[in-house]
Chains A and B, each alone.
Chain A
Amino acid sequence: MSSPVAAGHPPAAPSSPSAPPFPPALHERPEDEQLLAAKLVPLRRPGQWASALVLVVLLAMLVHTLLTNRRFQWDVVGSYFLNGSIVDGLKLTLWLTAAVMASGYLLAVGVAAMRLSGNPVLRSLSFGFVWLVRSVPPLVQLLFWYELASLYPQLSLGIPFGHEFVTVRTAHLFSGILAAFVGLTLDVAAFASEIVRGGILSVEHGQTEAAEALGLGKVRIFRRIVLPQAMPAIVPASGNLLIGMLKATSIVSVIAVQDLLYSSQLIYNQNYLIIPLLLVATLWYIILTTLLSIGQFFVERHYARGSNRGGGSARTGFWQLFRGNVPLGLS
């Protein structure tokens, strides 16, 4: 097939006498020159920008009303932001969250072990526990433990239906904060046990088999082989649980435990500046959860290193971050 060589195309040059010519130049149409020289102009989307404009206007209205409305009293918000009792409440919130997560996870490992055990009795008991705690609102559980003091004036340990060895007066035990601690720990334990169980199940069975074939003992296998490999599944989901628990501690305000929310409530019960003080609490919660989320993002990225999704590391982190929705009942 012979074709006229258009201007601008180099003539075919054989590399050696015996080699066939370079692919013959294709027929050039006169308008091809123009097309090849033309600039590529991306699509404009007027409709979308119109709707965006409307949105911006609405937002401007919202922001305007937020900033100028007398009821918000941003000056008051500013003055109370670092108030002593607010900061004390903040510290209690943080402390309670940390303590509850620690003890909850300790309990959760035990519950998860029970759930995975071969013993049907242990399995059903742990299943029942998780099911019960996950079905009842944390608020109801919290009040229940709070009322427990009236229910059990004393706790005793001993032979069932028989002689008691040790007795303790619960009125001294179950004050508001301890009720909060117990109630929330059980809540964490129930949800965390599912996370831990899921993580352990995610480890391929072949790993355990190989370890057993090597003659390693059960506890060692769990500690050195299974648990480390379960972490990439456990840690990201736990991040959501942590953030959820930070927010859930706000319910302890109903049993007069002086967390962040209750501290602000105490103040506004006196000076009646309700909205500004609620905004103080709101701002602090936003700051705390955002900091935790950022931390979670980095932790997730560390654990997601092995898998690549082509979308880039940033997208991977946020994608997994938002995927685990743990319904604690108080979001």
Chain B
Amino acid sequence: MSERSLPAPTLPVADRPPVGVGAGATAPAPLSRQRVIPLRHPGRWIATAVVLVLVAQLAHGLVTNPFYQWDRFQYWFARPAILQGLVVTLEVTALSAVLGLAGGILLALARQSKNPILRAVSWTYIWLFRSVPLIVVLLILYNFSALYKTLSLGVPFGPGFVHFNESALATDLVVATVGLSLNEAAYAAEVVRAGILSVDQGQHEAAAALGLPKGYQFRRIVLPQALRAIVPAYVNQLIGLIKGTSLVFYVSLLDLFGEVQNMGSTYPTDVVPLLLVATGWYVVLTSVVSVVQFYVERHYARGALRTLPSTPLQKLRAGVRGLRERADRTHLGTVKA
């Protein structure tokens, strides 16, 4: 049957104007051409209104209350003393992150080892440091260093070979870093172990079947794939570390929080704006790390996903485009059949 042009489409019966209606009367618009009105949600908008009222009150109080002293906030925000504290925070975080990760890798490998003693030691360490609060660990180390004058290395139950003078070693920075690193290693170990275990068993078998030696197998096949799970999780740990460093004040190390407390005791009327300064800086720090985390996760997802989640910029552009398209459509009127 040859294809001829189809006859002009006629409106379905229901849409045709009713018979008998004169030219004077206006026929109701056919069903297919009527505007679709979306459902309104009154309850939702009431809830929104309530929330907005509360937030407005809060915001109003926030801005106008003289006790927040926003002028003092501005004064303190970038003061040298505060910035110095910020530098200390970053230093301690960076050092602890690296040392913690190194320790974590060792612990994770020990946990996977065939040697039962290594496994037990590693498991015990992780158990201990995940059971004790960080502040207690720091306090013990701090007071420890004050009490232990010398560290000695030697045969157990015998004479010591080497003696170190502890008080020279244990500056506050060292104590803080050691405490944070020991703590972090226990958590990093779990992150690393989970990453290594996440590599499909088939990969190990394929590498073994090819005759690849174990060290090579780990380095070139397992580790790159494990990193895909480890790195995003560890960047998350970084955020926890940044916040954890706030405790080093209690071992006499003046990080960002420490400086804030210090200044606060010197200028007791400025305590609240100073706390807000600390809040502000911490928000800045963690947000930067979060952005980095997003891009890191995206980079590592390249192997797994076909299409990557859109970056904030891409989302913004897509949103603007969507709005524009919707505006165009309503401007043109209803879509033609």
State if A and B touch, Cβ cutoff 8 Å.
yes
Residues of A within 8 A of B (CB): 45, 48-49, 51-52, 55-57, 59-61, 64, 71, 117-119, 121-122, 125, 132, 134-140, 143-144, 147, 150-152, 160-161, 243, 247-248, 250-251, 253-254, 261, 274-275, 278-279, 281-282, 285-286, 289-290, 293, 319, 322-323, 325, 327-331
Q: Is the CB of B131 within 8 A of A121?
A: no
Give the complex CA separation of A57 and B155 in angstroms: 8
Given contacts A64-B156, A285-B131, contact A138 B243 (CB under 8 A): yes
Q: Is the CB of A125 within 8 A of B55?
A: yes
Q: Is the CB of B60 within 8 A of A160?
A: yes
Closest chain B CB from A262 CB (angstroms)? 11
Q: Is the CB of B131 within 8 A of A278?
A: no
Contact sample, A vs B, 5 pairs, CB 8 Å cutoff = A140-B275, A147-B271, A328-B240, A329-B244, A331-B133
Given contacts A119-B48, A136-B283, A151-B67, contact A285 B132 (CB under 8 A): yes
Give the complex CA separation of A105 and B231 in angstroms: 29
Given contacts A152-B65, A282-B132, contact A325 B233 (CB under 8 A): yes
Q: Is the CB of B135 within 8 A of A330?
A: yes
What residues of B have a CB within 8 angstroms of the CB of A253 in the complex? 135
Query: Closest 3 interchain pairs by CB?
Result: A329-B243, A327-B240, A247-B133
Closest chain A CB from B61 CB (angstroms)? 8
For A264, the closest partner residue in chain B by CB is B136
B294 beta carbon closer than 8 Å to chain A: no
B157 beta carbon closer than 8 Å to chain A: yes
Tell which of B6-14, B28-36, B137-145, B299-307 binds the partner: B137-145
B56 beta carbon closer than 8 Å to chain A: yes
Which of A56, A71, A137 interacts with B243 by CB under 8 Å? A137
Q: Is the CB of A140 within 8 A of B240?
A: no
What residues of A have a CB within 8 angstroms of the CB of B144 in the complex? 71, 275
What residues of B have a CB within 8 angstroms of the CB of A152 in the complex? 61, 65, 67
**Chain A facing B: main interface SS:** helix
B197 beta carbon closer than 8 Å to chain A: yes
For A161, the closest partner residue in chain B by CB is B60
Q: Is the CB of B156 within 8 A of A61?
A: yes
Closest chain A CB from B292 CB (angstroms)? 14
What residues of A have a CB within 8 angstroms of the CB of B184 in the complex? 331
Identify which of residues 103-130 in chain B touch chain A, using a CB-to-CB cut-off of 8 Å.
Answer: 113-115, 117-118, 121, 127-128, 130
Tell which of B18-26, B185-193, B217-225, B329-337 binds the partner: B185-193
Which of A45, A59, A248, A323 interacts with B133 by CB under 8 Å? A248
Given contacts A140-B246, A261-B133, A278-B140, contact A122 B48 (CB under 8 A): yes
Chain B, residues 29-68, CB within 8 Å of chain A (1/0): the string is 0000000000001001001100111011100110001011
For A114, the closest partner residue in chain B by CB is B51
Q: Is the CB of A64 within 8 A of B157?
A: yes
Q: Is the CB of B51 within 8 A of A278?
A: no
B236 beta carbon closer than 8 Å to chain A: yes
What residues of A have a CB within 8 angstroms of the CB of B279 in the complex? 136, 140, 144
Given contacts A140-B279, A330-B135, A330-B244, contact A121 B51 (CB under 8 A): yes
Q: Is the CB of B246 within 8 A of A139?
A: yes
B257 beta carbon closer than 8 Å to chain A: yes
Counting chain B CB atoms within 10 Å of each CB, the highest count among A121, A137, A161, A285 belongs to: A137
Give the complex CA separation of A161 and B47 in angstroms: 20
Give the complex CA separation of A243 and B60 in angstroms: 37
What residues of A have a CB within 8 angstroms of the CB of B48 in the complex? 119, 121-122
Q: Is the CB of B115 within 8 A of A250?
A: no
What residues of A have a CB within 8 angstroms of the CB of B240 in the complex? 327-329, 331
What residues of B have a CB within 8 angstroms of the CB of A48 in the complex? 113-115, 118
For B137, the closest partner residue in chain A by CB is A282
Which of A121, A144, A147, A250 interacts with B135 by CB under 8 Å? A250
Given contacts A137-B282, A140-B275, A325-B236, contact A55 B143 (CB under 8 A): no
What residues of A have a CB within 8 angstroms of the CB of B236 in the complex? 325, 327
Give the complex CA separation of A111 and B242 in angstroms: 25
Closest chain B CB from A158 CB (angstroms)? 8
B84 beta carbon closer than 8 Å to chain A: no
What residues of B have a CB within 8 angstroms of the CB of A134 in the complex? 239, 286
